[in-house]
Amino acid sequence: MIESIQAPDDNGARLRAHLPAETDTEALGAALATVLVPGLHIWLQGDLGMGKTTLTRGLLRGLGHAGKVKSPTYTLIEAYVVSRLDLYHFDFYRFNSPEEYLDAGLDEYFSGQGVCIVEWPDKAAPYLPAPDIEIRLDAKGSGRFAEISGNTEAGRTCVIELVKALRGADPAPGTT
**Given the DSSP bridges, would you call strands 2-9 and 12-19 parallel, antiparallel or unpaired?**
antiparallel
Q: What is the pLDDT of residue 85?
A: 86
**Residue boundaries of the structural domains of the chain:** 2-169
Contact yes or no for 166/27 (Cβ under 8 A): no
Report the C-alpha gap between 10 and 8 in whole angstroms.
Answer: 7
CATH of domain 2-169: 3.40.50.300
Nearest-10 Cα torsion for 8, 58, 94, 79: -100
CA distances from 127 to 7, 39, 105, 175 (A): 30, 17, 11, 37
From first to last of its 176 residues, the chain has per-residue pLDDT tens of 555 555 455 556 888 888 888 899 999 999 999 999 999 999 999 998 888 999 999 999 999 998 888 787 778 899 998 877 899 999 999 999 999 999 999 989 999 899 999 999 999 999 999 999 999 999 877 788 999 999 999 999 999 899 888 877 554 444 43
Q: What is the pLDDT of residue 132?
A: 96
Contact yes or no for 56/36 (Cβ under 8 A): no
